Amino acid sequence: MQDIDLEYERYKDFDFTGATRTNNPKILEMRARKKAYDRFMDFFDKEVQDIVLSHDTPQDRTRLNAVIKAMYATA
């Protein structure tokens, strides 16, 4: 079976020549939050990102926050 780019197929016939930037505050806020998240995650290498994302429980988040706070409180 051939690989199909579903996003391309969905939008390939749309005409975006008259598109303008959005001024919607909710969308702008979400973009800013994603940018901040991406910048934060880029701080860690891929192996650490995978470990953090695979341990996604309230207890793990509390433990990770405590370790990071302790690490930077002594720096």
What are the pLDDT digits (tens) for 15-54? Answer: 989 999 999 999 999 999 999 999 988 999 999 999 988 9
Q: Is 5 within the bounds of a domain?
A: no
**Domain range enclosing 20:** 11-73
Q: Is 20 within the bounds of a domain?
A: yes
Is-above-0.85 flag for pTM?
Answer: no
Q: Is 2 within the bounds of a domain?
A: no
Q: Is 53 within the bounds of a domain?
A: yes
Count how many domains the chain has. Answer: 1
pLDDT at 75: 60
Q: Is 31 within the bounds of a domain?
A: yes
pLDDT at 2: 74
**What does the buried/exposed string (b/e) look like for 20-50 if buried means 16 or more CB atoms within 10 Å of the residue's CB?**
eeeeeeeeeeeeeeeeeeeeeeeeeeeeeee
